[in-house]
């Protein structure tokens, strides 16, 4: 089968790989769609820990073709929760499974979904409707991560919520904040993404801090940083109201440092939180997408083949691109 493998830092190739054989407790999925995430680009550059030689792809869905269970028969469309916590370490015993010291993530620590077929634990599979658009299942994993961050932020009806970044996570966060009853502003320099954010139920859109101040002089009750850029992380406290809170959802490269003024956070009692992975949120994400509560189709910027995947991962995202989807077999 064809698969896109991270051979080493700065070396990613689509190769002829051995067909995976599901181990006991695993299912084999014929992959229908896999999203290229910013984390994949960090993995390519060596900015996020991974296992060399791994087939990438942690945002994917497909059809079960082997290893079926009573709950997941052959032919079921499923989305993969890529994180496989041990259940035994201190963090797992405390219910903080996203911090498991033994987590082996599909598409990062073990072979993932940038392939024609992928085997992974049946316990990490969540069923999707057969009538769902085959590409939409690839959005369940990023939505699950966004849900965790928005759960931490706990937006309330009537609050002002600022979403920084017009990528997939930012546009999903816009919709979740809207569902929470908040007034939502999207901050992104891209005019195309501003328009998309408004179409996805943002109340306001801005391209700069000055434009934001034209609407909200005192800032937002909740700022959710989804861009994964040092400059926007650093500006987040300035955009937060006194007594407000910040959630950092964006992933910065390992080792990058950002200037923060502790006295300002102290004096204005700004709460600054960080959100990692998707603890117990993947099933909820699958349901929201299956029911159409969250809109994902406008976020699909382009469909690419496995042969095209290495070039797409190695290069920056195209201008205005939200999500490129790898469609194996095309």
pLDDT tens by residue, 42-81: 999 999 988 899 999 999 999 999 998 999 999 999 999 9
pLDDT at position 92, please?
Answer: 97
What are the backbone angles phi and psi of residue 42, rounded to the nearest 5°? -65, -40
End-to-end CA distance of the chain: 13
pLDDT at 306 over 90: yes
- Read off the pTM: 0.97
pLDDT at position 121, please?
Answer: 97
Domain boundaries, the chain: 2-131+296-326, 144-274
pLDDT at position 330, please?
Answer: 84
Beta bridge partners of 2: 16
Q: What is the DSSP letter of 207?
A: S
pLDDT, averaged across the chain: 97
Beta bridge partners of 161: 184, 222
Cβ distance 168 to 322 under 8 Å? yes
Task: Give buried/exposed letters for 132-147 (b at 16+ CB in 10 A, else e).
Answer: bebbbbbbbbbbbbbb
**2-131+296-326 carries CATH number 3.90.180.10:** yes
CA distance 17 to 186: 42
The CATH number given to 144-274 is: 3.40.50.720
72 alpha carbon, distance to own chain's centre: 25
Averaged pLDDT for residues 316-324: 94
- CA distance to 102, 228, 240, 260, per residue, from 265 (Å): 34, 20, 10, 9
CA distance 244 to 250: 19
Confidence of residue 329 (pLDDT cuts 50, 70, 90): confident
Taking only the tens place, the pLDDT of each residue in 202-221 is: 999 999 999 999 999 999 99
What are the backbone angles phi and psi of residue 88, rounded to the nearest 5°? -120, -20
pLDDT at 246 over 90: yes
Closest CA to 235 of 217, 218, 243, 223: 223
- DSSP, collapsed to helix, strand or coil, labels residue 236 as helix
Beta bridge partners of 119: 28
CA distance 295 to 306: 25
**How much of the chain is helix, strand and coil, in % rounded to 5?**
30, 25, 45
CA distance 170 to 165: 5
Taking only the tens place, the pLDDT of each residue in 162-216 is: 999 999 999 999 999 999 999 999 999 999 999 999 999 999 999 999 999 999 9
Cβ distance 171 to 35 under 8 Å? no
CA distance 257 to 275: 17
Closest CA to 206 of 298, 251, 216: 216
């Amino acid at each position: 089968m064809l698969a896109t493998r991270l051979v080493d830092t700065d070396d990613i190739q689509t190769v002829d790989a051995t067909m995976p054989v599901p181990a006991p407790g695993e299912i084999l999925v014929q992959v229908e769609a896999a999203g290229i995430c910013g984390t994949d680009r960090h993995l390519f550059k060596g900015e996020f820990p991974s296992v060399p030689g791994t087939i990438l792809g942690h945002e994917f869905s497909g059809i079960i073709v082997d290893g079926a269970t009573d709950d997941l028969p052959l032919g079921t469309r499923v989305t993969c929760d890529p994180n496989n916590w041990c259940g035994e370490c201190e963090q797992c015993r405390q219910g903080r499974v996203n911090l498991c010291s033994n987590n082996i993530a599909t598409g990062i620590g073990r072979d993932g979904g940038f392939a024609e077929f992928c085997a992974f634990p049946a316990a990490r599979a969540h069923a999707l409707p057969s009538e769902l658009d085959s590409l939409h299942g690839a959005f369940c994993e990023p939505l699950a991560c966004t849900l965790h961050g928005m759960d931490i932020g706990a937006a309330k009806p009537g609050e002002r919520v600022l979403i920084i970044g017009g990528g997939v996570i930012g546009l999903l966060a816009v919709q979740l904040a809207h569902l929470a009853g908040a007034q939502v502003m999207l901050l992104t320099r891209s005019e195309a993404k501003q328009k998309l954010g408004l179409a996805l139920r943002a109340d306001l859109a801005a391209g700069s801090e000055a434009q934001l101040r034209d609407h909200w002089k005192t800032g937002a009750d909740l700022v959710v940083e989804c861009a994964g850029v040092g400059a926007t992380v650093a500006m987040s406290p300035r955009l937060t109201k006194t007594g407000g809170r910040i959630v950092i959802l964006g992933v910065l490269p390992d080792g990058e440092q950002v200037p923060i003024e502790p006295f300002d956070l102290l004096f204005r009692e700004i709460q600054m939180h960080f959100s990692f992975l998707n603890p117990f949120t993947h099933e909820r994400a699958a349901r929201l997408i299956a029911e159409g509560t969250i809109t994902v189709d406008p976020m699909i910027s382009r469909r690419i083949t496995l042969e095209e995947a290495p070039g797409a991962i190695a290069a920056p995202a195209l201008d205005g691109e939200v999500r490129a989807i790898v469609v194996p077999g095309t």
